[in-house]
Amino acid sequence: MRNLALYLVFCSLAASIAGSANQQSQAQNYSLVLKDESAADSPIKASGQVKVHRESSEGTETGSIAFDVQLQNVSQKPILAYQITIDVIPELGRSIHHTLLADLFFKKDLLPGEEDGYQNSLPALSYQTESPSGTTNPRTTGASFNVVFVEFADGTSYGKKSSWGNALPNARTAAIEQMKASVQAFETSGEPRLRATLSAALARADLPNQTKDVLQSVKLTLDEKGLDAALSRLNNFLSAAAKRNGVM
């Protein structure tokens, strides 16, 4: 009988511990359908969803969000650059205001009717629930999309004034200058000089972030795929810029 009593106590304790663990750590996944709130005449329309992952542990909520969005050029012109925002209101925690900046100047235009996919994940900050058991009442959730600014391949634009859009001409000019300098450095002194030139440019405080994004993509290609791939990327970028017919 004593052994049976000890066994029953042990089982009860194990069940209590398991139940407590389940209460202390809970995970939840859900998706929010993206609502396109852009103006009716917007050249870009969007569809997709935002996936929310949420974990509760001892009164603290942590989580992350993942974007799975399709953007479509519904205008009659090729698109060269765009600035959009995505706002997410999860059940709990802070709301997310995310800005997507895309400059296609050194790449391929987004042609009329074409789609551009966007996938990205963002960590959400931890926050305290209103009670230790995490019983905060969920609020109305949602995910919305807005077009802020679009630049077309012919140099015209759509949307509000954008400091990012206004800075693109200077950033592109600087990127072209730095890429030409990188090619010249390689032709003069080989790969070590190419690496040094790229690293020096990326360390400069006076170069715009848009310029550094282009140079960083070249450096990553050099690091991950090698010299030939990096030189090909440089030449492709410069060739695309040369075909812009004066649009900067």
Per-residue pLDDT tens digits for 11-33: 343 333 344 444 455 777 889 99
Give 139 or 11, the one with higher predicted confidence.
139
pTM of the model: 0.79
Residues 88 and 37: their CA atoms lie apart, in Å, by 13
Residues 56 and 135: their CA atoms lie apart, in Å, by 10
Q: Name the helix (H) or strand (E) containing 216.
A: helix 209-225
Class of domain 27-159: mainly beta
Mean pLDDT for the chain overall? 83
* Lowest mean pLDDT segment, chosen from 6-15, 73-82, 141-150: 6-15
What's the pLDDT at 4? 36
Residues 118 and 100: their CA atoms lie apart, in Å, by 9
**pLDDT above 80 for 41:** yes
Residues 90 and 65: their CA atoms lie apart, in Å, by 9
* Lowest mean pLDDT segment, chosen from 2-6, 222-226, 241-245: 2-6
Per-domain residue ranges of the chain: 27-159, 163-242
What is the pLDDT averaged over residues 183-212?
Answer: 94
Let me know: does 125 contact 56? Beta carbons within 8 Å.
Answer: no
- Show Cβ contacts of residue 114 under 8 Å, excluding neighbours closer than 6 positions: 72, 73
Q: With the C-alpha atoms ordered 148, 30, 114, 110, is the resulting torsion angle positive or negative?
A: positive
What is the pLDDT averaged over residues 235-241?
Answer: 94
Q: In the chain, which residue ranges form alpha helices assigned H by DSSP? A: 2-24, 163-189, 191-202, 209-225, 227-242
